[in-house]
Structure 1
Amino acid sequence: MISPVLECESRRHVWRIGPSDYQGRKRLGFWPWYRDTDGKLKPGRGGFFMPLERIPELIDVLHQIDTQRGPPTG
């Protein structure tokens, strides 16, 4: 994965969301990483890739989710 755009810690994983280039195909990767015994991050299993052409659809869905949750509380 090339320079992660977003990292989000969730329990024992750090999810990295960012661009990826594999065999000349550019995609958006969603991948879990874990810390080894030395504390270094290493790629885990169970991630997935999305073609860059579908990013506008993802943005639309995220916007819908955000507007449905309402204003922040607190």
Structure 2
Amino acid sequence: MKVRADTGLCVASGMCVLNVPDVFDQRESDGVVELVLAEPPSSLEDAVRSAVLGCPSGALSVDED
């Protein structure tokens, strides 16, 4: 799995960070998403999928291997 974040679409809601802080973070300056791990371990894949589905702006996506 590879995680992608479109910072141009991000509305800085922070839901992804709340759900999977090991994978997502927010920029200090404007709260826009930053990826901590673009290729998370398999133990986090379900949580990442949930965060992607819960992203209010659709800024997150995953590419399955």
* TM-score computed with the length of structure 2 as normaliser: 0.28
Larger Rg: 1
Q: More strand per residue: 1 or 2?
A: 1
